[in-house]
């Protein structure tokens, strides 16, 4: 697997995990983000950044979930993004 494919697949997996929170849980932590070190499937060390932001800066609206996976040594990375709308009542 190529470097870019590995990072892209990892970003999508991390995005799935980030989006697994219920909307009410996301709402409590938005805006928020963190960066942590992780191990890619190939065994190399990467940085993962996860962000929860209000869509278009409108507090209480949809939430943008962004994940970036970076390899600082190779200076490459991949991003994945989703917009989560509030559940209809």
CB 64 within 8 A of CB 83: yes
Percent of the chain residues past pLDDT 90, beyond the cut = 84
Residue 28 has pLDDT above 80, yes or no: yes
34-74 pLDDT, tens digit each: 999 999 999 999 999 999 999 988 898 999 999 999 999 99
What is the helix (H) or strand (E) element at residue 63, kind and residue range? strand 63-71
Alpha carbon distance 34, 78 (integer Å): 16
CB 57 within 8 A of CB 64: no
pLDDT of residue 2: 65
Q: Could you tell me the pTM of the whole model?
A: 0.89
pLDDT of residue 1: 57
pLDDT of residue 68: 98
């Amino acid at each position: 697997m190529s470097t870019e494919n590995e990072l892209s697949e990892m970003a999508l997996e991390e995005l799935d995990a980030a989006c697994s929170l219920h909307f009410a849980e996301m709402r409590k932590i938005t805006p928020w983000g963190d960066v942590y070190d992780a191990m890619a499937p190939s065994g190399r060390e990467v940085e993962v950044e996860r962000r929860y932001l209000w869509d278009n800066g409108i507090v209480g609206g949809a939430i943008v979930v962004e994940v970036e996976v970076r390899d600082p040594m190779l200076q490459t990375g991949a991003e994945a993004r989703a917009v989560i709308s509030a559940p209809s009542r």
